[in-house]
């Protein structure tokens, strides 16, 4: 199903959130044009493989928006576009004469999703995935995060926001603008921690035998038998009921064997994969 067939998306955002959102919209059927600065997208220098994956199937153009030629090309694309994705601070867009008031006056059917760091009145404040996670208590020093939680959550929020704007337009509401704050996307992902669910020793933080990780004969397994029917079936099969009992039981087989054992009994048991790149 391609619900966005015929929708033209222009992406001016580089690095992760906007390209990830654009890739998702492409999979829904949108036609995506990726507009990069003359030096290209920094992500290509950091992780060329991921850059290519996110840009696959899109038209990639490099434009100097400070030049007349670049602005003419952008204006032509905006005239035919349905959705603009940006990740530039609003004040910088204003300096480029790309503020929403100007865009809406010239292109009334255009919708824009602006990815920013913080909600108003902090929308022009600098931030990054690492700082958003740090402010929410999502880090365990000195280890850095294993994923770009704010960026990836922000990309999904940008997609849902874009769909809402486009739907509203199709219902007669006209082009509209919305900001997606990465700090708020991260905060939404941190709700379990804020409510204490995942604090050390809490129900989902190691205090529950049936929802925990255990060392196997080789490697580790994740056990997530939280629902009563899973818990009863697991503990009956292992004849255990305490964390110590679980630890002893899972030390008896390899992680792969436990995963197979769980699949055979319809129990949620998985092997912990080592961190690393594909």
Please tell me the distance from the alpha carbon of residue 116 to that of residue 124, in angstroms, as a whole number: 7
With contact defined as beta carbons under 8 Å apart, do 186 and 138 qualify? yes
- CB burial string 231-267: b at 16+ within 10 A, e below: beebbeeeebeeeeebeebbeebebeebbeebeeeeb
Cβ atoms of 22 and 153 within 8 Å: the answer is no
Per-residue pLDDT of the chain (278 residues; tens, 9 = 90+): 799 999 999 999 999 999 999 999 999 999 999 999 999 999 999 999 999 999 999 999 999 999 999 999 999 999 999 999 999 999 999 999 999 999 999 999 999 999 999 999 999 999 999 999 999 999 999 999 999 999 999 999 999 999 999 999 999 999 999 999 999 999 999 999 999 999 999 999 999 999 999 999 999 999 999 999 999 999 999 999 999 999 999 999 999 999 999 999 999 999 999 876 66
Cα–Cα–Cα angle for 246, 252, 258, rounded to 5 degrees:
75
Total H helices, total E strands in the chain: 13, 9
Domains 8-192 and 211-271 share a fold: no
The pLDDT assigned to 278 comes to 63
Q: Which residues of 70-104 are buried (b: 16+ CB within 10 A; e: fewer)?
A: bbebbeebbeebbbbbbbbbbeebeeeebbbeebb
Dist. CA 151–CA 115, nearest whole Å = 10
CATH superfamily ID and name for 8-192: Crotonobetainyl-coa:carnitine coa-transferase; domain 1 (3.40.50.10540)
Domains in the chain: boundaries: 8-192, 211-271
Q: Torsion angle, CA of 199/202/203/204, rounded to 10 degrees?
A: 20
Q: Which pLDDT does position 198 carry in this prediction?
A: 96
pLDDT at 277: 63
152 is written with which tokens?
């990836």
Instruction: Report whether 191 contacts 149 (CB < 8 A).
Output: no
pLDDT the model gives residue 255? 97
Contacts (Cβ under 8 Å, ≥6 apart) of 90: 99, 114, 116, 123, 124
CATH 3.30.1540.10 fits 211-271, yes or no: yes
């Amino acid at each position: 199903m391609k619900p966005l067939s015929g929708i033209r998306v222009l992406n001016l955002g580089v690095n992760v959130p906007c390209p990830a959102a654009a890739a998702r919209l492409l999979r829904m059927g949108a036609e995506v044009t990726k507009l990069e600065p003359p030096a290209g997208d920094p992500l290509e220098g950091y992780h060329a493989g991921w850059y290519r994956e996110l840009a696959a199937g899109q038209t990639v153009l490099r434009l100097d928006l400070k030049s007349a030629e670049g602005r003419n090309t952008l204006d032509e694309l905006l005239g035919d576009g349905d959705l603009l994705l940006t990740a530039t601070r609003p004040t910088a867009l204003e300096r480029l004469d790309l503020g929403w008031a100007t865009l809406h006056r010239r292109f009334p059917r255009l919708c824009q999703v602006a990815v920013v760091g913080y909600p108003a009145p902090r929308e022009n404040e600098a931030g990054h995935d690492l700082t958003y996670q740090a402010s929410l208590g999502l880090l365990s020093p000195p280890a850095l995060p294993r994923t770009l939680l704010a960026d990836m959550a922000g990309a999904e929020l940008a997609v849902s926001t874009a769909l809402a704007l486009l739907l509203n337009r199709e219902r007669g509401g006209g082009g509209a603008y919305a900001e997606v704050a990465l700090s708020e996307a991260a905060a939404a992902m941190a709700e379990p921690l804020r409510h204490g669910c995942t604090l050390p020793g809490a129900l989902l933080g190691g205090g529950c035998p049936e929802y925990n990780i255990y060392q196997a004969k080789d490697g580790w397994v994740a056990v997530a038998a939280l629902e009563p029917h899973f818990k009863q079936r697991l503990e009956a099969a292992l004849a255990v009921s305490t964390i110590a009992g679980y630890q002893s039981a899972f030390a008896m087989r390899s992680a792969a064997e436990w995963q197979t054992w769980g699949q055979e009994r319809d129990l949620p048991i998985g092997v912990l994969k080592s961190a690393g790149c594909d």
